[in-house]
Amino acid sequence: MSVKELTISWFGGAASTFDLIILRTEFNTSVFYVRTQHFGRHEWKWTSAEPLECTSLSVRIRSRDGLATSEWSKINTFRGRDLPSINTLQMYPQDRVVEVGSNMTFCCIVEEGKTFKEMLYGNTIMNVTRLSRRSYATTLVNVEPTGVSGSNIVCRLKDLSLTGAVMFVGYPPLPSDFVCETQDLKSAECHWKEARDSHLTGERRRTRYSVNSRNCNVDSQLTCRLPLWDGNWTLMAENSLGHYSLSDSAELIHRVRPVAPVNLSSIANAWNATVIWQWTYESYFTLDLNCQVESTNHESKTLHVFSGVGLRSVKLSGLHPDQAYTVRVRCGDQKYFWKWGDWSQTFSFKTQTDVPDPPDVWMWMNKDRTGLVVWKQPLVLSKPVFTNNGFFLFWQQNATNTCNYLVEWLDTSCEHDCPVKWIRVAAGSTNVSIESGMPGMQAFTKGLFCPSDSPQLIKRWQGYTQELVPSRSVPLSVKSQDSKVVITWGEIPLSDRRGFVLGYNVYISNGSELALLANLSSSEMRRYVVKGLSVGNYKFTVKSYTSAGEDTGSTASITLEPFTDALILEMLGALGTITILLIIVTFICYKKRNWVKKAFYPDIPEPKLPGDWSRLQGPLDVRPSPHSMVHIVEKPERDFNKETLVVIPEEEEYFEKDEPVDTDEPMSLRYYNQVVDDRPIRPRFPGSSASSASSLDSGHTDVTYTGIQTSGSSLVFQPDPQGSSEEQPPEVVRYDGGYKPQMHPKVLSDDVVLKSSNPFQESEAASSVGYKPQCSWHLDSPTDTAETGSLAPSLGSPTSVASTQFLLPDGDGDEKNKQQPSSAAATWFSNLLLSSKP
Amino acid sequence: MADRRTRSMKSSNLSRTAVNRASMIALQLQGESSKLLELYRQKESFPADVTDGRLVSVPPPSSQLDTRDKLWRLHSALLQTQSLLERAITKEEEELGGGIKGEYENQRKTVKGRLSFLLLTTGNLLKAVDGAASLTPSLEGLELDGPTTLFQLKLWLLQVFSEVHHWSRAAVTTLQELLTNAADKQSSTTRVRSTRSARR
């Protein structure tokens, strides 16, 4: 480190005035001379222009008393670096940092035997002063700021060897704009600027900063972070040329600069979008914020401003459908606004597509028969005040309008080619009165903006000098919807309203009178639903009303039909219930099948037959039981007054007997026991066939039976066409086969009886010699058909023969079809029983 | 002799293309280091005739050196130069740097990168002639004990940049020589084969 200050002290005895002289030793040239007065300690500080290393200096002192002086003291030499013993090329001072505008002297000490050539400052050859034999000096006056690596002062010798020194010329620090703020609402972040470049580079020379004695690691940004909010801060800036301090103080809530919102997202609709973001710090949730959302669409930027506590989402309106938008957000404290926070990262979204509502169109006809069609969002229709002077219209002043207003009006009753009246109003006006002889009128106020040729609609009025009832009724329609009646109607055209429609009355026609159903006190409500009406014809009337009263009304009628759907539902429900009941009955029957079997289908006792009958195979001839004996009256016409049917008294007795009846019976029945068809059928009555045959020949004229157990085909009544007499042998009954079940679809009629002898019948009868279930029930005679009809079922008992089948009554021919389902059901039921038989 | 013979055999493994490629890189470095020197002189206002001493220490060049030795000498010098350059850049930034990235700083970065590339290339050449030869630069004598003042540091930087430029030129020269020798050897071999073929 070069030094330039020389401190000289001496002992001067009693003298107080001294002469002090400083000489360059080698050349003995005076550098400094001073006369000074000293008391007590004698000391003098002298600052050399050149570094003291440049050359040796000699100091001599003498005392003075007026004009009398003492001898010069011995030479006291301060040795420089140009001593012969130091034979190197040197330059002083080195690495000096000086303030701009200073004067600076450098010296170069050349080696012994070498020849000095020049000293350069940059590319400038400097004036040089020779201080000693080997030392040369040059002085830089009013130095300018140096560059990044400082300025070089080069000393060159004749042999091209060189040395030099680096000098930095700059400024002391001068910080400004020192402020501290917070982003996390807890710590402090202090910022400042440098008013000027110090021009001092390098680690050793650069300005160092500290805030509240905390060293700040400053790189490119002059920022210092403190972990806590101190409230008062002092910035100290210091470099080689000096130091500077600044202070700041503030409350935390006054210095909030929000961080940038993060994680932006959006919920985009067609005309608006909700932009959502998040905050890095939870402490922001309670912060009253003011946020700017900048949306960019096709390079057009729009700034939206929102506010709220802990704002994290905003709804952007005024967007357009199917458009791409880029947004970014920044916020500031709303209550104590300090600075806007950092902008967030940009976020892009696209609005959804939309089908726009039909625009509100307004047409303006110019004088030159050109039309101007204007459409915009609907303006609210205002009602002007009507006085004796006419309609009083007023509107809000538009600051941007510098031209006149135009008010025009026309008759509301006019539909086409309407005469329009107008008046021009000065730009600053906000009201006007217009006279109108029209009972109703519409008025429009338009601002004529100077830069624009087309007028802009500002306000619309509709008023009436005197309100009347509408001249036309509403278009009405009525329709049924489920069990309700929906009445809808349209608007009355403006030209026919003749007043402000206040609402609608809905009536139902009750004979010749109208009964009020509803009073709708809004002109916007044009729908009414009537509930609880039964089937029938109804008429509805809707009347609009103004302050002057109701119009004549529109009437529409409707006929309510039965609700077929409900009927179908009821039927389906009934069918479902029946099905469920059947399933339940079937289930119960199945579970109680043993009981059912006992109750309705008891086991048939097997006859015990003596002897060996096993070899007999074939149809079993069964002689009818006594109670089955039929006595047919051969000549009914003879005893019409007599009872034709006589109950044989033996019946009861016989019925109680288990033993079979003997063979002397007039007819025999053949049957196969279908239930036990696996087993060989053993005839109950051996030789009954013959007896049967003989019995067929036995005649009886009186019919007496207690039951029928014959099928129609097997029991044929053949009337005597000639009128039989008692003497005639009875040939009334002919059994052409055996017993046949009542399932046979035979209808007893005269024709059928006559045809019964045909081959088919005979063969069928011959083949059908087995037993069949008695599902059919045939009348005994055609004459009984008409009478008996429904009585037929009461005839006879099913116990005449052993059978595994029920004896189900059959109706007459007309009811045969109706019986078939029940027969089928019976067959199904019998099958069920059979299948359950062990 | 065996060693010598082995070396000679290996020297034939040198790819003319690789040598040529290394030569081109050296040529690029020569131009780039020349520009760096010029920029530095302008920046520091150093006279063009400022004497510069040598910092890199390698055996003196000799016509007796074979290909491998020439390559080894060149590679060793470049290694030392690279070490010097890296230290110079670090020291300059530390003592004189202002954080500015101007033309000089960019050129300095370019030269540093090119020098590393050339070193890689010459290292591969050396491996080609001497197997898995691996040179560790000797930084002896390269310690920066001299520059105690900023001016001395600046002079030292000048020397380092001059060394880079010097050894880039030397690399061009050496590699060109290798190319010439290879061409001569190939032509002589062709002649011998032609003669033998003619005798047959």
Residue of A nearest to B47 (CA): A123
Nearest CA in chain A to B40: A149
- Output the pLDDT for position B186: 67
Least CB-CB distance to B44: which of A152, A161, A165?
Answer: A152
Look up tokens 């210091």; give the residue: A238
Per the listing, tokens 């005979």 go with A762
Contact A93, A165 (CB under 8 A): yes
- Please name every residue paired with A759 in a beta bridge, in sequence order, or none if there are none: none
pLDDT of residue A595: 85
Interface of B with A in 28-67 (CB under 8 A): 43-47, 49-51
Task: Render pLDDT for B2-42 as a digit per residue (tens, 0 to 9).
Answer: 333 334 434 456 778 888 999 999 999 999 999 999 999 99
For chain A, say whether B186 makes contact (Cβ under 8 Å).
Answer: no
What DSSP character marks residue A733? E
**3-state SS track over A115-143:** CEEEEEECCEECCCEECCCCEEEEEECCC
Nearest CA to CA, how far is A241 from chain B (Å)? 17
Other residues' Cβ atoms within 10 Å of the Cβ of residue A161: 15
- For B34, the token pair is 């020349």
| Chain A residues with beta carbon closer than 8 angstroms to that of B92 | 149
Give the Cα separation of A518 and A520 in Å (integer): 6
Stated as kind and residue range, the H or E segment containing B39 is helix B16-44
Cβ of B151 within 8 Å of Cβ of A163? The answer is yes
Cβ–Cβ under 8 Å, residues A2 and A106:
no
Q: Which residues of B touch A202 (CB under 8 A)?
A: 94-98
State which residue of chain B sits closest to A91, comparing Cα positions: B151
Q: What is the pLDDT of residue A358?
A: 64
For residues A157, A159, A165 and A166, what is the CA-based torsion angle, rounded to 10 degrees?
Answer: 120
Instruction: List residues in chain A touching B: CB distance below 8 A.
Output: 91, 94-95, 120, 122-123, 147-150, 152, 154, 156, 160-166, 201-204, 220
β-bridge partners, A221: none
> Is the Cβ–Cβ distance between A695 and A687 less than 8 Å?
no
* CB-based contact B94 A91, cutoff 8 Å: no
Q: Does B146 touch chain A (CB under 8 A)?
A: no
Supply the pLDDT for residue A440. Answer: 59
Q: Would you place residue B104 in the very low, low, confident or very high pLDDT band (cuts 50, 70, 90)?
A: very high
Interface of B with A in 89-128 (CB under 8 A): 92, 94-100
Write the burial class of residue A451 (CB in 10 Å: 0-12 exposed, 13-18 middle, 19+ buried): exposed
Please identify which residue in the block is written with the tokens 């940092």.
A97
Contacts of B103 in chain A (CB under 8 A): none
Q: Which residues of B touch A163 (CB under 8 A)?
A: 151
How many residues in chain A?
838
E-only strand ranges, A251-399: 262-268, 273-278, 288-297, 300-309, 313-316, 324-333, 347-350, 360-365, 371-376, 381-382, 385-387, 390-394
Q: What is the pLDDT of residue A542?
A: 93
Q: Do A166 and B151 touch (CB under 8 A)?
A: yes
Q: Which of A87, A7, A104, A95 is nearest to A46 (CA)?
A: A7
pLDDT tens string B36-82: 999 999 999 887 777 667 888 888 888 788 888 888 899 999 999 99
B185 at the A interface (CB within 8 A)?
no
Please say whether the beta carbons of A525 and A450 come within 8 A: no
**Helix axes of B2-11 and B103-130: crossing angle, nearest 10 degrees:** 120
> For residues A492 and A472, what is the distance between their CA atoms, to the nearest angstrom?
7
CB of A651 closer than 8 Å to CB of A627 = yes
B197 has a pLDDT exceeding 90: no
Which segments within A681-837 are labelled E, that is strand?
A: 716-717, 733-734
Per-residue b/e over A655-664, b at no fewer than 16 CB within 10 Å?
A: beeeebbebe
The model's pTM is 0.52
Q: What is the mean pLDDT of chain B?
A: 81
The identity of residue A210, as a single letter, is S
What is the C-alpha separation between A474 and A344, in angstroms, rounded?
58
A82 within 8 A of A110, measured Cβ to Cβ: no
Instruction: Tell me whether residue A571 is exposed, middle or buried, using C-beta atoms within 10 angstroms of its C-beta: 0 to 12, 13 to 18, 19 or more.
Output: exposed
Residue with tokens 């006859």: A607
Angle at A404 between CA A402 and CA A405, to 5 degrees: 120
Question: How close B150 gets to chain A, by Cα (Å)?
Answer: 6
Those residues of chain A that have pLDDT short of 50 are 447-451, 614-830, 832-838
- Is A107 in contact with A137 (CB distance < 8 Å)? yes
pLDDT at A523: 83
DSSP 8-state code for residue A143: P
- The CA-CA-CA angle for residues A511, A514, A515, to 5°, reads 110
Strand partners, A138: A106
SS3 B190: helix
Q: A118-140: string of b/e by CB count within 10 Å (b at 16+)? A: bbbbeeeebebebbbebbbbbeb
Summarize the confidence of residues B121-135 as an average pLDDT. 78
Nearest residue on chain A to B153, alpha-carbon basis: A166
Is the CA virtual torsion A202, A205, A207, A212 positive or negative?
Answer: positive
CB-CB neighbours of A13 under 10 Å: 9
Q: Of B44, B51, B155, which is closest to A149 when you measure between CB atoms?
A: B44
In terms of CATH architecture, what is B13-181? Up-down Bundle (1.20)
CB-based contact A741:A812 (threshold 8 Å): no
* From B44, B96, B155, residue closest to A201, measured CB to CB: B96
Domain limits of chain B? 13-181
pLDDT tens digits, residue range A191-207? Answer: 999 999 999 988 888 89
Structure tokens given for A771: 């037993």
Residue A426 is predicted with a pLDDT of 79
**Contact (CB<8Å) B149/A165:** yes
Task: With beta carbons less than 8 A apart as the criterion, state whether A705 and A645 touch.
Answer: yes
- Would you call the peptide bond into A93 cis, given omega within 30 degrees of 0 as the criterion? yes
* CB spacing of A202 vs B97 below 8 angstroms: yes
Contact of A742 with A779, CB cutoff 8 Å: no
